[in-house]
Amino acid sequence: MAIERDLTRALGPERVLHTRDALLAWECDGFTVLKSRPRAVVLPESTTEVQAVLRLLHAAAVPFVPRGAGTCLSGGPTAGADAVVVDCSRMRRVLHVSTVDRIATVQPGVVNLDLTAAVSDHDLHYAPDPSSQSVCTIGGNLAENSGGPHCFKYGMTTDHVLAATVVCPDGSLAHLGDPAGPRSPHGLDVLGVFCGSEGTFGIATEITVRLCRNPPEVRTLLASFASMSSACRAVGDIVAAGLVPAALEILDQATIRAVEASVYRAGYPENAAAVLLVELDGPHEVVGEEAAEITAFFRKNGALQSEEATTPDERKRLWKGRKGAFGAMGRIDTDLYVLDGVVPRTRLEEALTKITEIGRRHGVTLSNVFHAGDGNLHPNISFDGRDPDATARTIAAGHEILQLCVELGGSITGEHGVGGEKLDHVPLMFDDDDLEVMARVRRAFDPDGRCNPGKVLPQRHACAEVAKWPQMTAEVLGEGAAEGGQ
Amino acid sequence: MNATEAIRERLCAATGPVRIVGSGSRARHLPARADATALDLSDLREIVRLDHGDQTCTVECGVPLATLDAALREHDLELPCLGGGTAEGTVGGLFACDPFGPGNEGGQSPRSLLLGLDAVLADGTVFKAGARVVKSVAGFDVHKLFVGSQGRLFVAARLHLRLKPRPRAEQWFTNDDLDEAAAFRLLHALRQEPLPLPVLQLRRDSDGSHAVMGRAAGRAGYVTGVVQRHGLHSVSAPTSFHLDPPPRGELLTGLAVPSALPELLRAVPAAATFTWLGGGRFQVALPDPGASDRLLAALPNVPASGVLAVATGERHGRGTPIDPGQARLADALKIALDPDGTLV
Ligand SMILES: Cc1cc2nc3c(=O)[nH]c(=O)nc-3n(C[C@H](O)[C@H](O)[C@H](O)COP(=O)(O)OP(=O)(O)OC[C@H]3O[C@@H](n4cnc5c(N)ncnc54)[C@H](O)[C@@H]3O)c2cc1C
């Protein structure tokens, strides 16, 4: 308990939690299949306090796990029983906004949507918009390189982050990047590789991001289709015409029905096999012309019906179903396994057909809601986590779906990260040499392997003595899961 | 033999330090160390795939930018980080040197457009990072380290790139002979456009005159509107204010936020040519080492950062102080990926 005592001395008893009951809220993230209570949780409020904490943990050789709001869907912030969670959610101050330069510097615990709220009076917003944006933090977004419905046009977090103050695992400080541009003229883009490192390289304590001007006009279009293929073809036509809508989202029939039966009811036609949500933004004259072109593509692909929302209230209604889709799926069963594969956009139709087949074979309940413009699929499996057989079938189907994505030329994750969830899937994309190079990069940041150990890299490429995650996987899911997920 | 095998073979055959050469344009700025073997990759020039539906491509590192641009044009696509004007050099060189940064605030930077790569470490290890699709967060983004690395971490054999649709209409413009106030007014007004201009640059010449150039792009009506609203002087060919190294003297490249521009221009000696490349990047062609040193000393107070990109001998790379933490991590990454210091 020596480390708990030292941490308490540094932060005070209210900000160091270590009794078993107090740790319950930190036993998992949005990937509830994997659970483990950490050794302790600390709640620092400044860079200096994070430094003090990490120096103590360094001296005591104790592993630690950074955490934001815990909305991650891949077990990223879930800590092993020997690790201390450094929870940044109390670091929620917007430190600086420059409306001329259109940048903001924030603490990592600032909630994504709160940043937009803080700058909206200046007609600015922060563009990356994960569907969890009312809860998730900028620190978590940076660590995950998060995207969202609008990243088809505006890009992922990496396209918006300019600089970050990072506390390294030994407690030392590094100021990465430059508020003026994405790579400092001195050389390496260290921030570029830090972004998306899933909390394994250090803790970001101040983050400078670019803000975007609010577009003069936003218009949301919704079309329903009798088949998923027609919806996908409409997407292909829109993109091939050189149009870049702000968002291009598809919901399948299972999702539509779940949404319509829930509090997120948006008036989507329940008989449709798919609805396509398109958002356009920009100058009035441009948006008007683009809306006409897109409506023509809806017609060409046999849309059952389409509507166009121009007022904020109408737009909110059309988005309500999409934004509430994951919540609505809670009605289907007790647990939800949200997958996150990517395929080349031109292979969406083929991928969805094969995913349906995989689901049928494993006897799991599947629904799809996805970022069609990016080919980023979210097949969702609803299951009862108390039933080991259902859990095993869910995991097996998930593995096969991600394998399919890779076979089609895509990726095992478009935005949710590898975390502890996809360690078994990583070798589908990367061979031993690829992983060894990544391990070398990781060691450059964290030579002792104490920062979020056991995540991102499968065990033999992580630091053997600290890679506890696969064991945790085995504990929770049974031996088979840790060895291959089948 | 594919590009990774070819590079691996060449690396294994080389002894001592190795200098990667694309089109050779860097050698004009920074001559190779006398003891370094030049590894010429300009023969690796295949466009391996161009998936216009997915708006991605895979190219070998030695593909000339002009060749890629012509191939993309056939599909109404572009690689929007060429800095304006006609592109010189190779794709590998563009990403390794990242001379322009994003064309404008919010413009696409090489960091955004490089989706993944196949590469070779100095010890011959072949590896890949990233993916071919437009979105992937699998594994660490080792490929992002290639951007601006000057070929000193590893050798990229093939690059997977994100492409963008070529705008339906575009108009390049240059408004020159402006005084400072007029140039700033125009720059400020253009920054308020609801669609960020993909290229927006400012130049101050040694005679004190200023010019603003850029590219308005989008739908035809909108482009015409921008040109008319701001009284832009259309030019027929793409252009760029990117500075070539001066015959004598030095070239400094730096970063500053737009609000620092007036202060920055006050710090730049009148005899120097200054360009603002949009997206935070600026360049100054300085007449002599003394002027460079004075500017480097003044930059932190602007505030701005800068480094001598072209200079004689040991002066190359001299710059404003770098954060010690960032420098330590950059060194650790170099040691991790090229422990023998082969790539120079
Ligand atoms: C309903 C729902 C919808 C979602 N939709 C999307 C979506 O559209 N797009 C998308 O990309 N994601 C989405 N997510 C996933 C998740 O919200 C994102 O990954 C988000 O960025 C996580 O932020 P967080 O603050 O919750 O971080 P956490 O979950 O607490 O942590 C995420 C990772 O970041 C690390 N970390 C946290 N803070 C720091 C820090 N300061 N420094 C270093 N590392 C840190 C942690 O160690 C962990 O590995 C969704 C999740 C849910 C539950």
Range(s) within chain A of domains with CATH label 3.30.70.2740 = 332-407
Dist. CA B276–CA B212, nearest whole Å? 9
pLDDT above 80 for B262 = yes
Which residues of chain B from 272 to 331 reach within 8 Å of chain A, CB to CB? 279-281, 304-307, 309, 319, 322-323, 325-330
Dist. CA A191–CA A201, nearest whole Å? 11
Report helix, strand or coil for B80: coil
Dist. CA B65–CA A340, nearest whole Å? 34
pLDDT on residue A478: 35
The matching CATH number, chosen from 3.30.465.10, 3.30.750.210, 3.60.10.10, 3.40.50.300, for A1-214 is 3.30.465.10
- CATH class label, A332-407: alpha beta
Please state at what angle helix A388-407 crosses helix A469-477, rounded to 10 degrees.
130
Q: Choose the weakest-confidence range: A347-356, A419-428, B29-38, B257-266.
A: B29-38
Record: contact B326-A173, CB cut-off 8 A: no
Dist. CA A284–CA B177, nearest whole Å? 33
pLDDT on residue A481: 31
Range(s) within chain B of domains with CATH label 3.40.462.40 = 169-315
Task: Give residue-wise pLDDT tens across range B203-251.
Answer: 999 999 999 999 999 999 999 999 999 999 999 988 888 888 778 889 9
Range(s) within chain B of domains with CATH label 3.30.465.10 = 3-165
pLDDT above 70 for B32 = no
B92 close to B62: Cβ distance less than 8 angstroms: yes
Q: What angle do CA A120, B103, A141 make, to 5 degrees?
A: 45
Record: contact A444-B329, CB cut-off 8 A: yes
Chain A residues close to B257, C-beta within 8 Å: 98, 100-101, 103, 179-180
* ipTM of the complex model: 0.95
pLDDT above 50 for B324 = yes
Given a cut of 70, the residues of chain A with pLDDT beneath it are 460-486
Task: Give residue-wise pLDDT tens across range B170-202.
Answer: 999 999 999 999 999 999 999 999 999 999 999
A365 close to A383: Cβ distance less than 8 angstroms: yes
Task: Give residue-wise pLDDT tens across range B63-88.
Answer: 999 999 999 999 999 998 775 555 67
Q: Closest residue of A to B282, CA-based?
A: A185
Confidence grade of residue B105 (pLDDT, cut at 50, 70, 90): confident
Q: What percent of chain B has pLDDT over 90?
A: 73
Question: What is the amino acid identity at position B39?
Answer: L
pLDDT on residue B25: 62
CATH code: domain B3-165 is 3.30.465.10
| Sign of the torsion formed by the C-alpha atoms of A439, A443, A447 and A450 | negative
Range(s) within chain A of domains with CATH label 3.30.465.10 = 1-214
CA-proximal residue: ligand 1, atom 21 (nearest): A141
Dist. CA B263–CA A180, nearest whole Å? 15
- Give which of A435, A472, A437, A467 is closest to A450, Cα–Cα: A467
Record: contact A437-B98, CB cut-off 8 A: no
Question: What is the amino acid identity at position B238?
Answer: P
Ramachandran class of A415: left when φ > 0, alpha when ψ lies in -120 to 50, beta otherwise: alpha
Dist. CA A199–CA A88, nearest whole Å? 12
Range(s) within chain A of domains with CATH label 3.30.70.2190 = 217-327
Whether A88 lines ligand 1, by a CB cut-off of 6 Å, is yes
Dist. CA A402–CA A410, nearest whole Å? 9
pLDDT on residue A98: 97
Report helix, strand or coil for B109: coil
B169-315 carries CATH number 3.40.462.40: yes
pLDDT on residue A460: 66
CATH architecture of the domain A217-327 equals 2-Layer Sandwich (3.30)
Question: What is the amino acid identity at position B216?
Answer: A
Residue A45 sits at φ, ψ, to 5 deg, of -125, 0
Q: Taking the model in full, what pTM does it have?
A: 0.94
Q: What angle do CA A160, A165, A167 make, to 5 degrees?
A: 130
Task: Give residue-wise pLDDT tens across range A27-38.
Answer: 999 988 789 999
Residue A81's CB is within 10 A of a number of other CB atoms, namely: 11
